[in-house]
Structures are given as structure tokens and as C-alpha cells.
Amino acid sequence: MKAKTDFLDLANDYLVKCYANLKNNNVNLPLLLWVSAWTRLLAYNKNKGEVLPHVWHQGRAEIGKSYPMDRVVELLPEGAVVKYRGASPKLFTRDKTDLRHRIAYFEEADSLAQGEENPMAESFRKAMDSGDFIYQSLNNIGGRWEPETFTRPGPFVMWSTSLKNPGTQLRSRMAVIAMPEPDAKAIADRNLIKNAIDKDGWPIVSNDLLHYQEDLQKQAAASDGIKVSFNDETFEVINKLAEMHIDSRAFSQIKFLLKALALMAQRTEVLPVDYDTLFDLNRHSEFLTSGLNSGVTGGIRKICDAISEIKKAEEDDAARWFDEWHPVKDGMRKVPVGAGKLAFTRLVPDESVEWLNELRMARQRADHSKITSNDLAAHMDTGPTTAQEWLKAAIAEGWVENQGFSKAKADYKLGPLFKKTLAGLPSRDVLMGTVEPTP
């Protein structure tokens, strides 16, 4: 019996020869982008609240946002992606290209209508929720205003790149990926890959990979999407995931990604191994961070983590100095009580509850320095422009606020709406309770 082709491995083999845009040459991001592209082939229930994993790729100019997208496009058959570059959003409404079970790739976000109150932007958002793009406008014909309806049948997956983060409503429907600054090793990896390409030429995409996707594209068109189901064991895993109160749109996107992985493995049934694969792919990519945290992007989480880490470091210093100023003598520590003329000291046992409470209070009394956007950029090892963009999004979401007198004299702290977030999918073992989650 002929062994099944591992299409995920074929894609991985291609990407490791031409991609080094993230730290440690991590190809998980383009691989997950490729998996998201496969969801376009699946059966989709229109107007039932199902949301495909649409992608918004954000980062500063010249950081390489388009490069991973372009490499993924090379892994897809011809005609699977419909590109819109530097065009008015109105062009999309009048274009006659068939979008069913394809990807609409807006190479610059300006081509994708935005704004919370923009009627066309609302049509794009509804297309993400319902499957079809429907836009109504009024045309002046002979002095009379006549209604006109433009329809682009779906389902289709939307991709976009941008310097900025999307608005709140778009952000809740898309996987928002904040492109990190490449570290020294990533820059070196890029140069090594360029040298290898100069020497050996560009790698060739497997014909088996493209032909299989072409066959699936035809099946999807003929059957209005390929049906993939969950077996009983995987259904139990998905139920456990649902109990984690994940945003309903993100939950829908995760299920589509799992079905895509099953399709990739030449199956029409999702198995537990598909969840393990998605967990491993998402481990370093931040692809699902936005959806898992109800629209909070990876950049916002990084900003909040940086603020927390800077504050914690100052509290750790305060506790360390308090510990050194009150040394152990005969198993006891002398600690101050009160202040001024009424101050006195008392002895408490080392490592006792009383001593641990003293250390906790020392942490609370720590002097905190002002935290500026430059401090956050340095702590995250990212550029100041990227840090400021993430800060804007974090402030808009209420996760960070400026307690300084002005933007020029900023002092950022965690905002009233901050809550601890998931950095990625929980493992199957954590979901099923066989191991404890890592703090």
C-alpha cells in the first residue's frame, strides 16, 4: 500500500530553504498562514456565525510583512489567490472574479475599506461573519437616485498587510499578527539563506503539493465545500476548549484550522493528532493570540507583559534590598514597626509567615520609575515605531493607560481592562487534565 504524502512536511521543506523572517528561523508563521489558506476549501454554513481564519499582518515599513505572504502564495495553486494592490475598495465591489473558496489578498490595507461607521467596511465585516460580500449604494441615473447592490459570493478568506493595527471590529474577526523585530540571529539567517539561494537557486515547490490542492479546489467548487467532521475523541477535546470561554469567532477559526489539517492529511475526519499539530504550529507564531484573547493582538500582549516585567523587576529589587538590610541572626530577623518617634523593631522567625508578609509589603512599597515608550521598546527589543503602534492599540483597548501629565511626559501602566491572556493554545494534555498548565 502506497504511503500517504505528508504535505505539511513538503511545505516545511520549501519554507526552510527560503524563509528567515522571525527569530530562530521559525517557519511556523508561514506554515499557519498556509493552513489558513486551506480553510477556504471547507464546507461553510452561510449566515450561521462561522468565521474563517482571516489574517491581518501588521508591522513597520520594510520589516518584511509581505515576504511570508508571498512565500505562502507560492505554495498555493494558480487561481487560489485574488490580489488587490493599491486599488480603491470600490474596485473590489465591481470586480467579477469568482471568489468562492479562494483568498482575497489586499496587499495594502488601504484597499480594504475600514472605519467603524463606514458602510462598505461594514459589508466587509459582514462577509467575514456570513460568507458573502453584499454592498448597497445609490447611483444618480438621469437625476434620480437608484439603489444598486453589489454581491461577491463566498465563502472566501481575507488577507491583508498594514503598518497599523485594524479597528476594533475588524480586529475581532481576524488573526492579527504583529511582525516582531528580527534579532541578530534572524538577520544572519536571512543572509545565509540569500547566499544559499544565490548558489543553488530558488527551491522548487513540489508538484504533488500543487496537484493535490488543485484537485481539492475542483472538489470544493463542485460540492460547495468539502465536509470534514470530528471523531468522538477530538470532539471531547474541542468541548474542553469551549469551556475556556474563548471568543466564539476564534473558536470557529480554530475548528476550521483543525479541519484543514485533517484535509492536508488526506482525511475527512479530524483526529486528536491534528490538535497536537495545531498546538505545535501555534507555539511560536502568535497566529491565534488575537482570537484567543477576544481581539487582543500579540503586540498588545507584549506591551502589557513588558510593563508587568519592568514593575516586577523593581519590586524584586525592593524585596532583595529589604532582605539584605535585615539579615538573619540566630534564625530571627529584626524588622521595623511604625515610623518616626514611635518606631520600634520586633523579631520574627526567618522564613515564617510574618517574614514573608514583610517581604510582600516591601514589594508594595517599591519605588517605580516612569515607563515610557522608549523603555518598552528597549525591554521588548523592538523598534520605537513598532512599540508606539502597539501602545496605541493597547490604550484603545483599555489595557494600558498613561498616568503621566501628557504624551510628552508619559508614564504607562496597566489599564482597567487588562486581564491575563493566553499566549497560545493549551496543549491537549492540559485540556484533558492529565498535566497542570504552565504558569
Looking at residue 258, which CATH number applies to its domain?
A: 3.40.50.300
Determine the pLDDT at residue 132: 92
Rg (CA), the chain: 26
Task: State pTM to two decimals.
Answer: 0.73
| Last residue of one domain, picked from the residues 296, 319, 353 | 296
d(CA 52, CA 100): 13
d(CA 435, CA 429): 6
Structurally, the chain folds into a number of domains equal to 2
More confident residue, 212 or 287: 212
* 239 occurs within a structural domain: yes
345 and 267 in a common domain: no
Q: Is residue 421 part of a domain?
A: no
Position 392 confidence tier, pLDDT thresholds 50, 70, 90? confident
Among 296, 327, 345, the domain-final residue is 296
Distance CA 156, CA 52 (A): 8
CA distance 280 to 31: 11
In this structure, is residue 24 part of a structural domain? yes
**Whether residue 219 sits in one domain with residue 70:** yes
Q: Are residues 176 and 152 in the same domain?
A: yes
**Could you tell me if residue 373 is inside a domain?**
yes
Confidence band (pLDDT; 50, 70, 90) for 261?
A: very high
Q: Which of 236, 268, 296 is the last residue of a domain?
A: 296
Distance CA(74)–CA(24), nearest Å, equals: 22
Q: Clarify whether residues 243 and 322 are in a common domain.
A: no
Map grid coordinates 509589603 to a residue.
361
Give me 28's grid cell: 511556523
For residue 394, give its domain range: 299-414
Mean pLDDT for all residues in the chain: 83
Cα–Cα distance between 306 and 303 in angstroms, integer?
A: 5
Residues 274 and 377 in one domain: no
Residue 145 within any structural domain of the chain: yes
Residues 259 and 353 grouped into a single domain: no
Please report which confidence band the pLDDT of residue 213 belongs to, taking 50, 70 and 90 as the band edges: very high
Count CB atoms within 10 A of the CB of residue 343.
9
Whether 422 is in a domain gets the answer no
pLDDT score, position 285: 61
The answer as to whether 407 is a domain residue is yes
Alpha-carbon span 37 to 76, nearest angstrom: 8
pLDDT band at 1 (very low <50, low <70, confident <90, very high): very low
Distance CA 64, CA 61 (A): 8
Please check whether residues 308 and 361 belong to one and the same domain.
Answer: yes
Cα dihedral 224, 226, 230, 234 in deg (nearest 10): -120
Do 32 and 131 fall within a single domain? yes
- End-to-end Cα distance, the chain: 46
Is 313 within the bounds of a domain? yes
203 shares its domain with 70: yes
Domain match, 358 and 406 both: yes
